[in-house]
Chain A
Amino acid sequence: MAPRARIRWQSRQPSVIPGFGLALGVTLTWLTLIVLIPISGLLWRSSGLGWANFFALAFDERTVNALAISFGTAFVAAIVNLVFGVILAWVLVRYRFPGKRVIDAMVDLPFALPTAVAGIALTTLYAPNGWIGSLLEPLGIKIAFTPAGIVVALVFVGLPFVVRTVQPVMEEIDKEVEEAAATLGANRLQTITRVLLPGLLPAGLTGFALAFARGVGEYGSVIFIAGNLPYVSEIAPLLIVIRLEEFNYAAATAIATVMLFLSFLMLLVINTIQSWSRRRYSNGA
């Protein structure tokens, strides 16, 4: 067993480049200390709860509601980001207009702006006395302190994902493909809907899944705007924090385990989409 384990971590091909042992050693040590041990700790604590206890904690009504709200709002926000992300990427790749460079750079704002800052800014805008909230109030539309507010925050947080996954694929679309569709009699709308958009599907789905995964776990930007009403606008990460503050470590652990499991599932989905599209479409110039 021992020699086999050693072989596994040896470089497959002898190489003149030095430092494999050192680099891999540092990587594995750091990975183990920072990521693997803490996450295993969570899973170990979770397994100590016992099945019955775990299910009772993970699937009590308030928790299920919070998970449903987290996943539901993240899904809606990811859909919004898919639609507008594709439009935004299209406009940035295909057209020129004043300020395009700035807009392109601004797309990454949600990656750079701390979530708490985004949270209080969006709350101020969408609160009933805010700029946008006061416009919507007479129409009977409430955004802040409702699930709709959560969606708004998650749209902000997930905005760059679809744009940044779709944009490079769009840039590489061969002009000949569009011309081919035109010579075959397809009008512009048919060319876009039948030829271009399906080609962007794998990238779009990847961006969608990334935005969705990010939205499910998001905390900082949401808690300010959500109103945090149990069963209505309370997200799962917030419930973990609440249970922690009650020193109810068991419940916090159970919810976290469920979320972690679902995150891995999504990671798997993303990887599957990517390898599937690579297998089918690559080299298909």
Chain B
Amino acid sequence: MEVRVQNIRKEFGRYPALEDVSLDIRSGELVALLGPSGSGKTTLLRLIAGLESPTEGTIFFGDEDASKKSVQQRNIGFVFQHYALFRHMTVLDNVSFGLNVRPANRRPQAAEIRRRALDLLELVQLSGLEKRYPAQLSGGQRQRVALARAMAVEPNVLLLDEPFGALDAQVRKELRKWLREIHDRTGHTTVFVTHDQEEALELADRVVVMSKGAIEQVGTPDDIYDHPVSPFVYGFIGQSNCLDVTLSRGEIWFEDRPIGLRAASEPDGPATLYFRPHDIELVDGCGCLAGLVTAGRRVAGTRHLEVSLGRTQPPVEIELPPERASSTDHSRVAFRPTRWKLYRGAGDVARGSVQAQSSGIELAPTGT
């Protein structure tokens, strides 16, 4: 079922948790809400669920206004970070719970409830464990029970709050792949919250990047990574470097020299240059960024170099194939970004103000 969030505002006391958020989630889509803690992503999820009610705004499930409905009436499936399994019930009773509490006229026969619950346990690969109690399961198994329990009510939308947050790295990776498979098989409209960008980019059809109670960007993982619309997204997703630069007659200057990048339509003045460590090429001679390699470490198939460009700037990080970088250790290196972006105004990522995105401009990569 399609879910539309329209101009939602939510305040806790006087503290605004969400400010004028709108979002369309298409039917059958797998959407990630991604952001640092305090960005409002969990609040948004709980508003969709009906566990919180908005201060202002509406939420539509299909064409129906769901904001007036209680959480019980919305028929959603919610998976909690800490599973929230009923510990005095067996796995089977946990999964059947949503069907068992239905009013008599909508409740399936006992045998039918059992059959459905067992089917779901098979789907989440827990067949044979139906008589166990939650305390007798591992963390990963508990989370799968929680998912089966949420799916048992045939929800309009499946909502997951940091579903893998409490699990260790190995189990996380497995469950991530497995959740994608389940989604592809069942086709539930699914929204999950995460602060792990890798998880969001790997799993989701579309990623919603949030910061400070607002949506920064909505897009496919490729969009988000390749075309970040704001310094916040650039800084939050993947690795990035930022440099204070100056624009002068369409040319980008770093400290006292031009670096061979052009932004012809931009007026003169200070700006911030963003580029990812792997989006660079080594060049000879001048008209580029150059500095001393201060540290280098090998990470799997690439070598990461820390380069000190000037006294006033923190070092930047670049990534090179190991064979090209070996000779440049502890020496001078000259390079030029191949994909980059320029932001005007309050460009610092750490202070990443939202207004900065309005003056951000995308420039065609030069060189390549």
Question: Could you tell me if A185 and B75 are in contact, using CB atoms closer than 8 angstroms?
Answer: yes
Question: Could you tell me if A281 and B88 are in contact, using CB atoms closer than 8 angstroms?
Answer: yes
- A283 on interface, CB distance cutoff 8 Å: yes
Interface string of A261-285 (1 = CB under 8 A from B): 0000000000000000000111111
- B252 on interface, CB distance cutoff 8 Å: no
CA distance A186 to B93 in the complex (A): 14
- Which of A176-184, A205-213, A217-225, A241-249 lies at the interface with chain B? A176-184
- B225 on interface, CB distance cutoff 8 Å: no
Contact partners of B81 in chain A: CB under 8 A: 176
Partner of B133, one of A190, A201, A280: A280
Question: Could you tell me if A186 and B97 are in contact, using CB atoms closer than 8 angstroms?
Answer: yes
Partner of B72, one of A187, A198, A201, A281: A187
Question: Could you tell me if A184 and B84 are in contact, using CB atoms closer than 8 angstroms?
Answer: no
Question: Could you tell me if A177 and B72 are in contact, using CB atoms closer than 8 angstroms?
Answer: no
Interface string of B89-113 (1 = CB under 8 A from A): 1000000011001100000000000
A138 CB to closest chain B CB, in angstroms? 45
Question: Could you tell me if A179 and B72 are in contact, using CB atoms closer than 8 angstroms?
Answer: no
- Inter-chain residue pair count (beta carbon < 8 A): 83
Partner of A185, one of B86, B87, B135, B153: B153
- B85 on interface, CB distance cutoff 8 Å: yes
B136 CB to closest chain A CB, in angstroms? 8
Interface of A is mostly: helix
Partner of B134, one of A176, A181, A284: A284
Interface of B is mostly: loop
Task: Take A183-B51, A186-B97 as given contacts and tell me if A199 and B75 are in contact as well, using a CB distance cutoff of 8 Å.
Answer: no
Tier of interface size on chain B: 20 to 34
Interface string of A137-163 (1 = CB under 8 A from B): 000000000000000000000000000
B243 CB to closest chain A CB, in angstroms? 45
A188 CB to closest chain B CB, in angstroms? 9
B189 CB to closest chain A CB, in angstroms? 15
Which residue among A177, A182, A283, A284 has the maximum number of chain B CB atoms within 10 Å of its CB? A284
Contact partners of A201 in chain B: CB under 8 A: 88
B131 CB to closest chain A CB, in angstroms? 12
CA distance A187 to B98 in the complex (A): 11
Question: Could you tell me if A284 and B101 are in contact, using CB atoms closer than 8 angstroms?
Answer: no
CA distance A183 to B76 in the complex (A): 6
With both beta carbons as reference points, the residue of chain B lying nearest to A180 in the complex is identified as: B84
Contact partners of B101 in chain A: CB under 8 A: 181, 184-187, 190, 194
Interface string of A187-207 (1 = CB under 8 A from B): 100100011001101000000
Question: Could you tell me if B72 and A176 are in contact, using CB atoms closer than 8 angstroms?
Answer: no
With both beta carbons as reference points, the residue of chain B lying nearest to A185 in the complex is identified as: B72
CA distance A180 to B147 in the complex (A): 11
- B149 on interface, CB distance cutoff 8 Å: yes
Question: Could you tell me if B82 and A174 are in contact, using CB atoms closer than 8 angstroms?
Answer: yes
Question: Could you tell me if A184 and B153 are in contact, using CB atoms closer than 8 angstroms?
Answer: yes
Contact partners of B88 in chain A: CB under 8 A: 198-199, 201, 280-281
Question: Could you tell me if A183 and B135 are in contact, using CB atoms closer than 8 angstroms?
Answer: no
Q: Which 7 A-B pairs have the closest CB atoms?
A: A284-B87, A284-B135, A184-B98, A176-B84, A183-B78, A180-B84, A186-B101
With contacts A176-B84, A180-B84, A187-B72 known, what are 14 further pairs, Cβ within 8 A?
A176-B82, A179-B80, A180-B146, A182-B72, A183-B49, A184-B152, A186-B101, A190-B101, A194-B97, A194-B101, A281-B87, A281-B135, A285-B82, A285-B87
